[in-house]
A and B are shown apart, each in its own frame.
Chain A
Amino acid sequence: SQTIHQWPATLVQPVGSPLSLECTVEGTSNPNLYWYRQAAGRGLQLLFYSVGIGQISSEVPQNLSASRPQDRQFILSSKKLLLSDSGFYLCAWGDFHNEQFFGPGTRLTVL
């Protein structure tokens, strides 16, 4: 069966510091991978998606970037965090049925 891992579960970072959130998927090959952010009152906002290694599409302009160095690894990064980057970050993988399966999420607080 497929599983999706995210770490860390929680993170508190000062403004201006870098960020690296990692997501890995097991039990599937060549999945579509997604990064979402859930901010208060804003639902689930798609940040990035990837259909393959090295292929990244950005949905919204922002302070963040994403990379996919391996088939089942998806990384969300920032060089300098802003206060507005605080939120709950979710990684997901998608199958050809258009269903997506989410990881446990990372709660990021930028102070």
Chain B
Amino acid sequence: DQQVKQNSPSLSVQEGRISILNCDYTNSMFDYFLWYKKYPAEGPTFLISISSIKDKNEDGRFTVFLNKSAKHLSLHIVPSQPGDSAVYFCAASGRGGSQGNLIFGKGTKLSVKP
């Protein structure tokens, strides 16, 4: 049973437009959420996170929104750039899981076209 779901395996966006990546979770005990970016043949790199006490966190072109009632979070990239093309993983952790463990979604491959 997947606790963190990224239902879109891929997303294609034009350069300069907004990219919206979605993530849903089922475990209401999760209280911390993260987004990772991964290029082929490299380890994931941390992008941005959000605590459950917030509903929005912004860092430059990246904004994460959290809707606790819907158990949904999204990552917005504005404006999208070709270098943003990568696989994006959503992850969650909290009191429901082992201490410090992250539960990852399957990822969404973002392609930003020039």
Contacts and interface: CB of A to CB of B under 8 A. Distances in A.
Interface of A: 6, 32, 34, 36, 41-46, 49, 51, 57, 88, 90, 92, 94, 96, 98-105, 107
Nearest to A32: B100
Residue in B42, B43, B103 with the greatest tally of chain A CB atoms within 10 Å: B43
Interface of B is mostly: loop
A100 B32 CA distance: 12
Interface size class of B (residues with CB under 8 A): 20 to 34
Contact of A100 (B41, B102, B105): B102
Interface of A is mostly: strand
Given A44-B89, A51-B99, A88 B41 contact: yes
Nearest to B107: A43
B112 interface: no
